[in-house]
Chains A and B, each alone.
Chain A
């Protein structure tokens, strides 16, 4: 009898203690929350924690890259060797460090790129430890497609746009990173960060998903793919400043140097190999020039410049009055031309 009483008493007592611990925990939690809310002095200090615009852009791009790798089965990065690609690659390294970026680099080689670009491409891929896949449109090679004989529009369509389609069909990527920026051109300003493409890689400007906050919708049917533009909100100046601050390596072609150039299609282009028609090659003169964008050498205009360092390039960019794309011969065809190319599947 006495034993039972004791047992009951013990049970009762342990209940008392248990419930009390429960309740005390709740009080502690409430107090904690109150304390942290009351800690106004600390809050003021915390509020000084602010990211600079470049750090915010960096964080946004990394967020996008991680989201893609987490949600897609087969992502790849389209690497064009230019300064934007260099920044994109650097951000990818940061996003997944200490691991190398968990996707391959894809380069659609039109066979008319500057020789130096190809060397740079091969070296960087090795340094970063990423797989490099180079695709060349062999049909175009068989047809001997050349920007000199076939013109810029046809060359770009066959070697670049068709070449890209072939690569995407071959490797079946469901997400492809590209380095395009919204400030580059008017029709790009409305481009989404996740740009949806149908089975035929076509872009439909009227059928793009709304993008809210940093919550991206990566869902897609088999065969469909999404182009991802993590640099959407960077401007040309942001890119240059970031390259400068982060010491990112870029091809030498961006820096002014004595180079052999000829007048062609109203612009100066560099003699990079023997495929340039001889009559044209004969007119070559050595001039101190650099390139503001990199692409196929016969389609990339050189600008006269003395900018040999990054600060000098930025200085020149800020003082110049002609926008970046003017060096690209493909945009001049007609107004709205970039938009037309995009509908056809151009990146």
Chain B
């Protein structure tokens, strides 16, 4: 097994380090309800991949006697349940991040709770994840919370869904039961538009098929969960085609240097590329692409790509400040001040339509309001319902009206320019997470679509007829 037991560690540490310079990073979330054995599964992954140190194990042994729910055996769940008050309640109530590594990958687990009222925590954990492990108790099959976890994973744009059918030991490692659940889930996944979920029979408690292949389930010919995590192709979530750089900070140490810093949300950029700054539409050419560096010799690179944190300098002295977006002149995103968005409400105080909120999208902070709730989505039944307000842990499609135009991309295309958080103007609390669906057509007071006069339309028709060699497009098609 490819866990941290590489023999090179002892024999040739320098070769080992060389090998480990090029690991990939995979971030995933685990979703399951209180009794699905999620904490036990994570404890098992860490334990069997030798990520638990002896002193930690000793502490668990001590704590198992005090808080444990597994009787005599060591309660691996205690390893991952962090805060005291939660431990006393016996449940995990927040997002916790865990880490482990194999020879190929470093993993960051967002451990998110399955309890009904904590949709907000799951959305938080899912926002940075590339993969989602959804636990199903083999005894009960697809439950309401399974649907909720799947819906939220999908809403937050996670393309890799792994269904871990847990507690197989309690159903005699039955292949028939596993297939039944598989069928049940597949039917439901189709409704949501989840493509190719991966199914995996495991027992976190006994360790079957978690890190090591299971002897009790020889009928299963797939990899163990750990093998899967180690080898699953990371379908590239990063758009490397459409360059977007939200300007974060302008670095001006002296008069001769003005660098525009930011993290590339999508695409690639090269020295000499023609760029446009939004919303001003000013143009220039990239003079230097500067990577994170601590010396002048190392700083310049020919090209940079998402998600690098870079600094660009320009050939012309144009005014660029925080909140602007630098794009390539040949590929300009849409602009709008009225948007259709999905909203996950995360605050006790309900959302009120037409109330002013602060919208932080990448490096922009703009006042805006939700003018209408198109519909709420019941995460348990996936039914759409009408609504006047949005309560804690509710999800809805809304219309967002901003005080200023922004350039944007749909969340499903580019997360960095299609996501936002909602902030209370007075308490400064983070109230909601939002994902841009599309520009709201027609309703915008300053619609970006160019309007053609009758004269222009006629002229266009005339030109098309009289000068076909100009290959002029009809204005109706634009």
Contact = CB atoms under 8 A, between A and B. Distances in A.
A29 interface: yes
Contacts of A214: 128, 263, 416
B85 A205 contact: yes
Given A33-B331, A315-B9, A321-B54, A66 B261 contact: yes
Given A210-B124, A217-B423, A241-B20, A59 B309 contact: yes
Q: Which of A190, A210, A221 has the most chain B CB atoms closer than 10 A to its own CB?
A: A210
Contacts of B420: 215
B255 interface: no
A326 B24 CA distance: 30
A212 B123 CA distance: 8
A308 B129 CA distance: 39
A213 interface: yes
With most chain A CB atoms within 10 A of its CB, the pick from B21, B101, B296, B346 is B21
Given A63-B263, A67-B363, A97-B293, 12 more contacts: A33-B331, A56-B307, A59-B263, A60-B309, A70-B248, A186-B79, A205-B85, A209-B430, A210-B433, A214-B263, A322-B55, A336-B87
Contacts of A186: 79-82
Interface in B278-308: 290, 292-294, 296, 299, 305, 307-308
Contact of B248 (A19, A63, A182): A63
A260 B427 CA distance: 54
A209 B430 CA distance: 6
Contact of A241 (B17, B84, B97, B470): B17
B22 A69 contact: no
Given A63-B309, A66-B248, A238-B106, A189 B97 contact: yes
B99 A183 contact: yes
A53 interface: yes
Contacts of A15: 455, 459
Contacts of A318: 4, 9
- Max count, chain B CB within 10 A of own CB: residue among A70, A182, A186: A186
Kindly name the residue among A53, A58, A206, A321 whose own CB sees the greatest number of chain B CB atoms within 10 A.
A53
Contact of B362 (A96, A97, A215, A322): A215
B96 interface: yes
Contact of A67 (B248, B251, B268): B248
Contact of A189 (B96, B121, B322): B96
Interface in A299-330: 311-312, 314-315, 318-323, 326
Nearest to A215: B421
Nearest to A92: B294
Interface residues of A, number: 87
A31 to B, nearest CB: 10
In this complex, the interface size class of chain B, counting residues with CB under 8 Å from chain A, is: 35 or more
Interface in A21-80: 23-24, 26-27, 29-30, 32-33, 36-37, 43, 46-47, 49-60, 62-63, 66-67, 69-70
Contact of A20 (B124, B236, B290, B470): B470
Contacts of A29: 330, 332
Given A46-B241, A235-B99, A326 B248 contact: no
A237 interface: yes
A312 B13 contact: yes
Given A46-B240, A53-B106, A190-B82, A217 B253 contact: no
A55 B460 CA distance: 52
B404 interface: no
B452 to A, nearest CB: 9
A336 B59 CA distance: 11
A10 interface: no
B223 to A, nearest CB: 22
A67 B472 CA distance: 46
A190 B95 contact: yes
B59 A335 contact: yes
A204 B45 CA distance: 30
A94 interface: yes
A95 interface: yes
Contact of B10 (A23, A94, A315, A326): A315
Nearest to B296: A98
A99 interface: yes
Nearest to B459: A19
B308 A212 contact: no
B355 interface: no
28 contacts: A15-B459, A16-B459, A16-B463, A23-B475, A47-B240, A50-B24, A53-B25, A54-B23, A96-B251, A97-B292, A97-B311, A187-B82, A210-B120, A210-B433, A213-B416, A214-B128, A215-B419, A217-B360, A219-B423, A235-B101, A244-B17, A315-B10, A315-B13, A318-B4, A320-B53, A321-B54, A326-B53, A336-B83
Interface in A77-125: 90-91, 93-100
Contact of A187 (B83, B97, B429): B83
A311 B428 contact: no
Nearest to B109: A189
